[in-house]
Chains A and B, each alone.
Chain A
């Protein structure tokens, strides 16, 4: 395996948006709409789309719009991807994927969705001039062989456990429309989805109308969907309460208020990782890191900052992921033990309440994102560490600068959040890989690297479990990170909205109804 491959594969895992499984597939979703077809649904997204092209994606807002305009190749199920536009697939250990495509699917302009159309879309994604965000998914694809009209063979350099998972992000557009409209495609984008494009106003809204020829006969159940771009969460809540919006996404901070206002919450299993990272090139003593792990009152952070929407997680993988193993050592909140560990490491409490060793004070730099909840969490961690004699110098900065700073290794300790990830344990294990471009911990260990490399390319789950168990037992024993909690994606809906499904943290629109 090449270094680049590892780096790329890891990057792709972490680049994937929020994916959470739910038992759902196209097959169980085909019963007819409960009432007559009507209703104009208004969905509030947290951000603009920036592009109406269904191949673009890249943000929570964009992937949800794509789910209405087009169809994903697969959707996220309980233990991995489930069929959608790809009805079934096979993979060889050499990395040859055979995709059997759903028949009878047409783009809104009448162009049939088939192997040729999919090849066109993949080639379009792969063309660097187009600057699509998911082009790299096919960076290791060496051939696309059309076997027959509905069978496509994708030949990759080698097997990759995450390859099919990533296909949830691919929502194709009509080749005819791309060719005839060229650059103007974004003014009239064409997909296969339950809704057709009507209009888009930058920074304001996108309007879609019912596709009467959708491949799921009789669906969708709504007349139209309007996506509104409302950046302020408080305003999304007011719009919901006023009834001018029916569904609002990204509502974690106002979930409790929404509930008390009689609105319904739809949450994914908690998968977004919230943790404290150490710069391992600077904080080298495992005793010190263990002390930090014991000094953090995880429950207090979850309760005070995340209003108990997140769940405490000592083990750096959420319980809903199959490779989760709760038999490994955990670090309970124990300040006395934390102090003992620091004493043992030779750090003596100084007169000003900060520990010292060889004339040097135990003071760490802690860059902090300006996202309010993350800032509060960082402040709580700093307060907890000061109780055991570790001085923290906090530096506030905007989120992008924060990410740059931490990834460049210009920090000692940092509160870090991943925006959730795929159902595969791989997603929770990459942060310490030396070849991983986000190696925020500035760390490399050949044993850990090799365990992860092996786990990426084998299909046998038991063998993978053994590798991950070994990997995480090393990570936990050395306290390489301090995992704190996992947070869910929260969507709020009004009571008159029914039939909402939320596989992989994205909405399925064809069965949604509105009782007005």
Chain B
């Protein structure tokens, strides 16, 4: 088991280097000189020479005057030492700015996953148990709607309903961590918006998995020996259906992280998504690079975790 985990973790290393490379190259191949783009067009320069001096100085400071491969190696070295440089816009260390944002996004994603799982499992099981009845059709329709509704619109609608009409929850913001009583009220609406879109997919997968399992021999045996139907479904049925859910969970986590960009803007939520969006519109290229890298690496790590959990749940996987 330990051997598997170590081997699987080692496989992650080249992926991480590759991810770093892709993020690096994508930003360098994007049209426009990052320095020229960054300079505020409204800035007044005493002369063209001072402007050029500042450009050259910035270029040298960021190492952009060196050949590409050298730049990448320096960048990789810095990343390994957790030195991500300073933001061009605020002149503050990017890591200092990013960590609280990252924490906010993880909190949001965490609660969205809980909502997604709760709705997805309940609805998926119901849908399978009542397969091909009106309950199933309604759930299928709602699930499809959940996946298809734009998050931007759903967010505003939930805000109108729960914050404006009912007055139960605050519309937007994040005055404190979601793990405090004050902050928790603020995370509900954005997490719900994110969670609903994820729940649809999860419900569909659980439904088909459950349907397959409910027709297995051991379920018939369980029923034959007189077990209560609830025990049959939850203990014998659902437990065996959980395995593929772990995989979907990993993929969903990535999707939620990406979806957070939209949700964070709508709900004025200070997470990585909004940080990235602001960095892009300020053309703050080191900040964009680091933010993207954080999100990408999170995705890689979550998938590593999923594989490990998978191996624990199903011993056959380790040997293949």
On whether the beta carbons of A400 and B163 are closer than 8 Å, the reply is: no
Q: What size tier do the contact residues of chain A reach?
A: 35 or more
B253 close to chain A: CB less than 8 A = no
Q: Which residues of chain B have C-beta atoms less than 8 A from A239's C-beta?
A: 171-172
A15 and B265 in contact, given A204-B175, A400-B37 (Cβ under 8 angstroms): no
A209-237 contact mask (Cβ, 8 Å, vs B): 1 or 0: 00000000000000000001111101100
Nearest Cβ on chain A to B154's Cβ, whole angstroms: 13
Identify the closest chain A residue to B283 (Cβ). A400
On whether the beta carbons of B175 and A205 are closer than 8 Å, the reply is: yes
Identify the closest chain B residue to A245 (Cβ). B171
On whether the beta carbons of B171 and A235 are closer than 8 Å, the reply is: yes
Identify the closest chain B residue to A204 (Cβ). B270
A203 and B270 in contact, given A8-B45, A14-B42 (Cβ under 8 angstroms): yes
B278 close to chain A: CB less than 8 A = yes
A238 and B163 in contact, given A48-B278, A231-B268 (Cβ under 8 angstroms): yes
A370-407 contact mask (Cβ, 8 Å, vs B): 1 or 0: 00000000000000000000000000001011011001
Nearest Cβ on chain B to A183's Cβ, whole angstroms: 9
Residues 124-181 of B at the A interface (beta carbon under 8 Å): 156, 159-160, 163-164, 167, 170-175
- In the bound complex, how far is the Cα of B40 from the Cα of A136, in angstroms? 13
Nearest Cβ on chain A to B91's Cβ, whole angstroms: 7
Known: A239-B172, A403-B41. 18 other contacts (CB 8 A): A4-B46, A11-B44, A15-B43, A51-B90, A133-B43, A201-B100, A201-B270, A202-B270, A203-B274, A204-B173, A204-B175, A204-B270, A231-B265, A232-B265, A235-B172, A238-B156, A244-B171, A400-B281
A350 close to chain B: CB less than 8 A = no
Binding site for B on A (CB under 8 A): 4, 8, 11-12, 14-15, 48, 50-51, 58, 128, 131, 133, 136, 139, 186, 201-205, 228-232, 234-235, 238-239, 241-242, 244, 398, 400-401, 403-404, 407, 438
Nearest Cβ on chain B to A441's Cβ, whole angstroms: 16
- In the bound complex, how far is the Cα of B40 from the Cα of A50, in angstroms? 15
Nearest Cβ on chain A to B228's Cβ, whole angstroms: 47
On whether the beta carbons of B42 and A11 are closer than 8 Å, the reply is: yes
On whether the beta carbons of B164 and A139 are closer than 8 Å, the reply is: no
CB contact between B43 and one of A48, A136, A186 (< 8 Å): that residue? A136
With an 8 Å Cβ cutoff, the count of chain B residues facing the other chain is: 41
CB contact between B173 and one of A50, A139, A228 (< 8 Å): that residue? A228
On whether the beta carbons of A203 and B164 are closer than 8 Å, the reply is: no
B108 close to chain A: CB less than 8 A = no
- In the bound complex, how far is the Cα of B83 from the Cα of A395, in angstroms? 39
Q: Which residues of chain A have C-beta atoms less than 8 A from B43's C-beta?
A: 11, 15, 133, 136
On whether the beta carbons of B41 and A407 are closer than 8 Å, the reply is: yes
Q: Which residues of chain B have C-beta atoms less than 8 A from A228's C-beta?
A: 173, 268
On whether the beta carbons of A136 and B174 are closer than 8 Å, the reply is: no
Nearest Cβ on chain A to B39's Cβ, whole angstroms: 11
B75 close to chain A: CB less than 8 A = no
On whether the beta carbons of A438 and B41 are closer than 8 Å, the reply is: yes
A to B CB contacts below 8 Å, 25 in the list: A4-B47, A8-B46, A11-B45, A51-B90, A131-B91, A133-B40, A136-B44, A201-B100, A201-B270, A203-B271, A204-B268, A205-B173, A229-B268, A230-B172, A235-B156, A235-B171, A235-B172, A242-B163, A242-B167, A244-B163, A398-B281, A403-B41, A404-B41, A407-B41, A438-B41
Q: Which residues of chain B have C-beta atoms less than 8 A from A404's C-beta?
A: 32, 37, 41
CB contact between B46 and one of A50, A136, A231, A403 (< 8 Å): that residue? A136
Identify the closest chain A residue to B271 (Cβ). A203
